[in-house]
Amino acid sequence: MIRNPLRDPRDRRLPRVPEPCALVVFGITGDLARKKLLPAVYDLANRGLLPTNFALLGFARREWDDAAFAELARDAARKAARTPWREEVWERLAGGVHFVHGSFDDDNAFDALAERLHELEGSSGIGGNAAFYLSIPPGQFPVVLKQMQRTGMADSTPERWRRVVVEKPFGTDLPSSRELNALVDSVFTPEDVFRIDHYLGKETVQNLLALRFANTLFEPVWNGHHVDSVQITMAEDVGIGTRAAFYERTGAARDVLQNHLLQLLALTAMEEPVNFSAEEIRTEKLKVLRAISLPADLSASAVRGQYEQGWLAGQRVPGYRQEEGVAPDSRTETFAAVRFGVETRRWAGVPFYLRAGKRLPRRVTEIALVFERAPHLPFSDTDTEELGNNQLVIRVQPDEGVTLKFGSKVPGSVMEVRDVSMDFLYGEQFTESSPEAYERLLLDVLLGDATLFPRNSEVEASWAVIDPLEAFWAGSTPHPYRAGEWGPRAADEMLAAEGRRWRRP
């Protein structure tokens, strides 16, 4: 038989399509499912990346039949789909859409779900393969996992795979994280557990690895000999919305610093993996997370804030304590800024400044490498007064791309050097738009590719970094800042004390 050279399994450019399977979503009526998961399923189908034999099962308390759920799923997918709507694609998908109603503590409902999955093995040809997405509050995990264990739905065999997707937060501290990890691993095997951090599904985050390791231009200067500091910013212009109950228990540090920002730090600081397998990449990230150090004086290097009423986009917005469901004397932080170190040979002595906050002037997430000043400038002070540090900025959202900031002479008869920028924008360079993070991550779950999913040890190493911060902040009052400002003044003073300042995104 002649082998097709275009079907080399090593060629990662070829689209990969999962085996026949089912996706079961617990909490299908929630915001995440309606705004992200259902549109992602449609977009994958529209791109031809779902198997022909595919079933989508929703589980919730609503007393719907398959048709009612299919109509809700269609409306949600059409409203938020990234790719053009094609009715024929949805019709093919709708044939495998099913719904089972019941509560999480209802044995009969889970027996019915297990029976429905068993029926679909023959009627839909899914072969028994299934992924279970826990789009539910973490407090509900134990009862759902135990029900799945009781009914045998969690059991993988040589003939079929069963996987579970766990949404953040992965616990509220290190002990609770270990307890949750132990619970999940007692029901599913570790390689079948996918802890989802949607930031790792963003195209620009993945491009960070290509930028570093596919080019000889950046890696030689990607170290403490040339980099003065690293700033990682995640700014949101929105408030807490309807998440008051969750946010009051969590705060900015537990919500995004522990997962999103520490994962970005790990990808920025990691060494080159031996290959791009899930195990090798996660091993290098784990080394970084375990090498993170906190400053000796947290009072000068860890700031948290809480937004007060102010103006955003020409509109007056309430302060955090005036938000519905928030205690009038709440001490929950909506802004956190911390200075970390990474105790490796590459990064020794380089500060990593991380900040995240709500009600900031604009929505932006970026990683900025700020380089050392040139050791000798043969210019007068007036020639370079508008020249700053060279910077390499990776914009994760919303304008995905890379900016290189460097000095250039201003045209004219005098010597004047100032900063200019060279921009790369995904939207201008490539004709195909970047897939949504949940598209990539859902597809990887169905393929069994764990590269972009943190494992137990990464989650626990992250909590080991955050727990001392939370202990230090316990009982203190956050610094106030007005909505529409870039955080409290104390965050600026933290960098100013070291002769630096925050980059303005």
pLDDT in tens, the chain (505 residues): 345 454 455 555 556 788 889 999 998 888 888 888 999 999 999 988 888 889 899 888 888 888 888 888 899 889 888 888 999 989 888 888 898 888 888 889 899 999 988 888 877 777 889 999 988 877 788 889 999 999 988 888 888 899 999 887 777 889 988 888 888 888 998 889 998 887 777 777 778 888 888 888 888 999 999 999 999 999 999 988 878 888 888 899 998 898 889 999 999 999 998 887 878 888 999 999 999 999 889 999 999 999 999 998 888 999 999 998 899 999 999 999 999 999 999 999 999 999 999 999 999 999 999 998 877 566 555 555 566 788 899 998 888 888 988 777 777 766 777 777 788 887 777 666 667 788 888 899 999 888 888 888 899 999 999 999 999 999 899 999 999 999 999 999 999 999 999 998 8
Dist CA 198 CA 487 (whole Å): 25
- Same structural domain for residues 210 and 273? yes
177 in a structural domain: no
Dist CA 459 CA 196 (whole Å): 11
443 in a structural domain: no
72 in a structural domain: yes
What integer pLDDT is reported at residue 12 of this predicted model?
Answer: 53
**480, β-bridge pairs:** 306
Residue 305 neighbours by CB distance under 10 Å: 26
Write the burial class of residue 385 (CB in 10 Å: 0-12 exposed, 13-18 middle, 19+ buried).
exposed
183 in a structural domain: no
- Same structural domain for residues 349 and 393? yes
- Same structural domain for residues 364 and 471? yes
172 in a structural domain: no
- List of residues 6+ apart from 218 with CB closer than 8 A: 211, 212, 392
Task: Return the CATH number at 328.
Answer: 3.30.360.10
Query: Whole-angstrom distance between the N-terminal and C-terminal Cα of the chain?
Result: 57
- Same structural domain for residues 209 and 153? no
- Same structural domain for residues 77 and 220? no
Dist CA 96 CA 274 (whole Å): 41
- Same structural domain for residues 465 and 413? yes
Helix (H) or strand (E) holding 293: strand 292-293
Which of 148, 167, 186 terminates a domain? The answer is: 167
Does the annotation mark 198 as catalytic? no
277 in a structural domain: yes
Residue 318 neighbours by CB distance under 10 Å: 16
- Same structural domain for residues 419 and 470? yes
444 in a structural domain: no
Tally of domains in the chain: 2
Dist CA 32 CA 37 (whole Å): 6
Residues composing the chain: 505
Among candidates 482, 196, 231, 496, which has minimal Cα distance to 334?
Answer: 482
Tokens at residue 154, please?
A: 């969690």
9 in a structural domain: no
**What pTM was computed for the model?**
0.88
Tokens at residue 403, please?
A: 């900016």
Dist CA 280 CA 261 (whole Å): 21
- Same structural domain for residues 271 and 361? yes
Considering the candidates 198, 260, 376, 479, report the single residue annotated as catalytic.
Answer: 260
- Same structural domain for residues 163 and 239? no
Reported in sequence order, the residue ranges of 329-468 that DSSP labels E, i.e. its strands, are: 335-342, 352-357, 364-371, 391-397, 401-409, 417-425
Which of 120, 152, 167 terminates a domain? The answer is: 167
- Same structural domain for residues 155 and 212? no
Domain hosting 90: range is 21-167
